[in-house]
Structure 1
């Protein structure tokens, strides 16, 4: 047991030392790449804000409750390349790590998720790379969300670059559940029996929140019909 712990500590130290060396050797080009990903995030965020504004003007409602953005840390990128046994290079990052840039869109209702996704993907400068629908096909844990990997162009001084961005679309209830599930599931020192019990309760909570989403959407649709 002691040898295993010592081995893990040594491996972690080696990874950290390698990470330090790698980042220092590639600091300028790496900073430039991260800046490009930040620009891509701004492009996608702006597209959703414009869609939200358009719906506000035309239909007097806002399908988007909030937008969150995230840029994966340099350490996180290197660790992911290491887990995938991939070389560290800018080309390797751009080709193999699809979630360096992340945009999460929080919607009021499930219908809004698919409507916004369709609107985004219909834009002629957006290219869909990958789609995973965890709303129609939830994960075993109960996790629900619509995931899109897209390419969006960013316009630099002398060139145009296409950058990958991961877009997650969720309802308020899905986001609330996912945030709490992450905090609770990754608590340390939980024995296997208790972890199994918690997992079942979290799955039940996910089903309850999905039912709430459906009922609230039905109420919204009934109200809209009465107002027509």
Structure 2
């Protein structure tokens, strides 16, 4: 059984796409790193679980203290081996496990979809105040949207995972966004990967999406204002 799993993993790693990207020596290096790579990916999965738990605990606390849940959904993802190799090759990084840890910060990802704009920064602050969370990098695409209209708060954090005989610090990319931002990003992703749309039509769709990004941003602000007015009425 273990041997079969090893063969399946090796076949998945050395896919036809990857073979076109790297030479035979590099492929040998990938195969030599098979077990360490499996172990590293397991560590990233553990880190994802740790971060997801932290947000679930915060959501539960807000439910008890303030009778509301700032988190709508939590989504997680682990970058595929093929995507990792492509990125290492594209950036001319060594094809080793150490290189993955040192050079790639987005292997493990947690996306938190919030009800309101202010919840994004509130949850980010609550997370970063925890003494086992280390902030590595912040990219605020809400205050500074991407040219295509993309909005989201990105954090690269480092957290410890506790193994049988050791503690290991792992990096996780956390994305926080509103429901409107998430819906917009989903459509933008579909357009980006839809290759059979004529270029002229795709250009028009991108322009429409850019306009919708501003509309949804305005909607987030207005919905937050209405929510605050309702809360203020309840407290008077």
Question: Shared fold (TM-score greater than 0.5)?
Answer: yes
Task: For 1:59 and 1:11, locate their aligned partners in 2 and report how far apart those are by CA, in whole Å.
Answer: 51
Q: 1:100 aligns with which of 100, 107, 120?
A: 107
Number of residues paired by the alignment? 219
RMSD: 1.7
Task: For 1:48 and 1:151, locate their aligned partners in 2 and report how far apart those are by CA, in whole Å.
Answer: 15
Deviates more, 1:148-157 or 1:188-197: 188-197
Task: State the match for 1:146 in structure 2.
Answer: 153
Provide the TM-score with structure 2 as the length reference: 0.88
| 1:83-162 matches, cutoff 5 A | 83-162=90-169
Cα 1:57/1:212, change in 2 over 3 Å = same
Structure 1 residues not aligned, in runs of 5+: 1-9
In the alignment, structure 1 residue 227 sits paired with structure 2 residue 204: no
Residues 96-124 of structure 1 deviation map (CA, whole Å, 9 limit, x = unaligned): 00000000000000100000000000111
- Give SS of 2:190's match: helix
In the alignment, structure 1 residue 40 sits paired with structure 2 residue 47: yes
Task: For 1:12 and 1:120, locate their aligned partners in 2 and report how far apart those are by CA, in whole Å.
Answer: 37
Task: State the match for 2:3 in structure 1.
Answer: none
Residues 98-156 of structure 1 deviation map (CA, whole Å, 9 limit, x = unaligned): 00000000000010000000000011110000000000110010000000000000000
Provide the TM-score with structure 1 as the length reference: 0.91
The Cα shift of 1:169 comes to 0.1
Task: State the match for 2:195 in structure 1.
Answer: 188
In the alignment, structure 1 residue 15 sits paired with structure 2 residue 21: yes
Residues 173-226 of structure 1 deviation map (CA, whole Å, 9 limit, x = unaligned): 000000011102321133433232221111001111111111111110000000
The Cα shift of 1:12 comes to 6.2
Q: Following TM superposition, where does structure 1 have runs of at least 4 consecutive aligned residues deviating by more than 6 angstroms?
A: none
Task: State the match for 2:63 in structure 1.
Answer: 56
- Give SS of 1:226's match: helix
Task: For 1:11 and 1:102, locate their aligned partners in 2 and report how far apart those are by CA, in whole Å.
Answer: 24
Task: For 2:86 and 2:47, locate their aligned partners in 1 and report how far apart those are by CA, in whole Å.
Answer: 22
